[in-house]
Chains A and B, each alone.
Chain A
Amino acid sequence: MLEAAAEKKGQELSGSVPGRGGAAERVYAQERRASRSLHGLALLFFCALAVFAAIARAAGDSFFLRLATEALIFGGLAISTDILLGFAGLLSLGQALYFGLGAYASALVMKDVQPSFWLALGASAGAGLLAGLLGGLIASRVRGVYFALITFGLAQVVAKVIYNTRELGASDGIIGIPIIQVPVGFATVEANSPAGFFLVVFVAAMLLYAVLSFLAGTPFGRLLAALRINQSRLPFLGWPAGPIKLAAFVIAAAIASVAGGLYPMLRGFVSPELMYFEMSTNAIIAVVIGGTGTLIGPLLGAMLLVFGKSVIGTFTEYHQIVIGALFMAAVLFFPRGLAGVVKAQFGSPKKGTG
């Protein structure tokens, strides 16, 4: 109500003399309204998840807590897909490559070097940055369907190589990863404590959301949007498209990798399936169902997808068919996704006539 009144006032003012800073203030106010609706949804999401976790813990559950943890980890992969798709407008069909590389890097460090949380995640981040730089240098040269095909091809090649590398466990992957102690300030949490590790991943997801929301409001974030909307104009404004794409690609790869690094801590194993095409497409499905370009949407979508699969899987082994049908329904009836609907409902200005 207040916002509507403020908007009306802004429109009245704009007709007369807006005064110094008037136009910019109006635009910023409008941008704040749009992002506030998404932040509200994020707050709701994290609160609901915290309540769920508290109840699950009180009930002595471990299955659903671990499932929720896995969904949040998978949400990291979905968010990384959203950075490319929703912000820069680049469809990656191979984002699971970086998730898998991070998982392998973390698993190898924990098993063969030292069972240290920060060392393992550092290795994941390093692997993601390096692989993202290499992949990005190739993929950022092209756009559209070629970008999709190159990311797809890269992921297929690396997955096959790992699948055939005996030293990395080949098709079996790496098992027997030790349970690590996660340092949380003054205390430590065991990675196999369902509630404890959930909390670690939960905090990480909130931090990720906060950092990326911040980034979206910087000139760099705006350049990504400009890249999505009209790539060909950007160079004439002084910004070469290639380096901006590369930066987005490296950031997305690093996020996917760190998310992947958490996976073996939770499940105690990694396998080549983590970088398969199905992982990449599931991430896209999570993004689209949740809302492209909304950051909270991918987390929401990942949660729905992982829990949906688990629940549907108890009734039928053909759960992929059900997921596929739901995905098509989402694209047809809610193309903006869940968060997109919320944003349109509460965050957008009324369409103007002129």
Chain B
Amino acid sequence: MANRAPEPLAGQKRTAIVLETLDLSVHFGGLWAVNGVSVAIESGGITSIIGPNGAGKSTFFNLISGAIRPSSGRILINGWPARSSPSKIRAQGLARSFQITNLFPQLSVFENLRLAAQILEPMARGILPVRMSSTAEAKAEALLTRFDLAHRAERLAGELSHGEQRRLEIAAALASEPQILLLDEPTQGMSHGDTQDTKALIKSLGGELTVLLIEHDIELVMDLSKHVVVLHQGSKLAEGSPAAVSANPEVQAAYFGGQ
């Protein structure tokens, strides 16, 4: 229940925009890490945020997920103002993964997922034996299978290989059944084979929910995205279809030009 996003007010314009930022900015001291970014993300599919290092991509994610507060501007989730903390924003239906793996290393792989799915359970089950939380358990098992981690279920998350930890990182974000999923460089540091598997996974996720993806692998971005937003020095440089963005001379100068 906690998962369901509130319906927009009656009479309000019904749109398929699930996530919107309006003139979103944040500065750290004198540096405007994100500067007046306005984007509207439509429901479903994969939208990628690209840009060179330091363009403000991860900061943009941190703003949307409530990890840091904006200096100015607004964030709307399903037409409603984003609330003030990560846990409340998760309740609005938004979940995220992290660029630097952010798991519970001393807990088992299964427990990492079970814990992440616990939010699906009624509060009262919090003080009953763990086994009574059957929804969370089933969710964790389904994710273990889907992310090919079932044979690792009882291992500690910290004992997994890098690629497995990256997969678990995505699975944990997915466990709370979000409507909007932010993936921050999910394939970072993965081998070529792992990247290809993960790519297929992300593609399948795009068919189920709205995915926002930060990714450096341009080939992957171009193959998966329906929409691409280019950030450069904290500002939005361009957005559009993958083809339109890669043909944009400004983008080529700022981003592709360097490669």
Contacts and interface: CB of A to CB of B under 8 A. Distances in A.
A18 B121 contact: no
A114 interface: no
A67 interface: no
A92 B173 CA distance: 32
B119 A222 contact: no
B153 A24 contact: yes
| Most chain A C-beta atoms within 10 Å of own C-beta, residue among B67, B87, B119 | B87
B176 A237 contact: yes
Contacts of B87: 234-240
A168 interface: no
Nearest to B88: A240
Contacts of A232: 102
* Chain B interface bracket (under 10, 10 to 19, 20 to 34, 35 or more): 35 or more
A24 B110 contact: yes
B104 A233 contact: yes
A79 B66 CA distance: 36
A23 interface: yes
B85 interface: yes
Interface in A200-238: 214-215, 217-220, 222-223, 225-226, 229-230, 232-238
Secondary structure at the A interface, as helix, strand, loop or mixed, is helix
B137 interface: yes
A238 B115 contact: no
A239 B121 CA distance: 12
B115 A23 contact: no
Contacts of B86: 235-236
B107 A225 contact: yes
A144 interface: no
Contacts of B136: 219
Contacts of A238: 2, 87, 90-91, 119, 176
Contacts of B160: 354
B193 interface: no
Interface in B133-158: 133, 136-137, 140-141, 144, 150-151, 153-155
Contacts of A217: 129-130
Contacts of A349: 154
| Most chain A C-beta atoms within 10 Å of own C-beta, residue among B85, B115, B136, B159 | B115
A24 B130 CA distance: 11
Interface string B159-188: 111000000000011011000000000000
Contacts of A346: none
A26 B150 CA distance: 10
* Chain A interface bracket (under 10, 10 to 19, 20 to 34, 35 or more): 35 or more
Nearest to A234: B87
Given A24-B110, A24-B153, A226-B107, A236 B130 contact: no
Given A26-B154, A230-B104, A237-B116, A220 B126 contact: yes
A23 B110 contact: yes
Contact of A226 (B115, B155, B159, B175): B115
Nearest to A7: B154
Contacts of A281: none
B153 A27 contact: yes
Contacts of A236: 65, 67, 86-87, 90, 95-96, 102, 173
Contact of A18 (B2, B125, B128, B150): B150
A153 interface: no
| Most chain B C-beta atoms within 10 Å of own C-beta, residue among A233, A235, A237, A351 | A237
Contact of B103 (A24, A233, A351): A233
17 contacts: A15-B151, A22-B150, A23-B154, A24-B153, A26-B154, A27-B111, A218-B128, A230-B102, A236-B86, A236-B87, A236-B173, A237-B87, A237-B90, A237-B115, A237-B116, A237-B172, A237-B175
Given A28-B131, A229-B106, A232-B102, 9 more contacts: A26-B153, A214-B129, A222-B111, A236-B102, A238-B90, A239-B87, A349-B154, A351-B159, A354-B161
Interface of B: 2, 65-67, 85-88, 90-91, 95-96, 98, 102-108, 110-111, 114-116, 118-119, 121, 125-131, 133, 136-137, 140-141, 144, 150-151, 153-155, 159-161, 172-173, 175-176
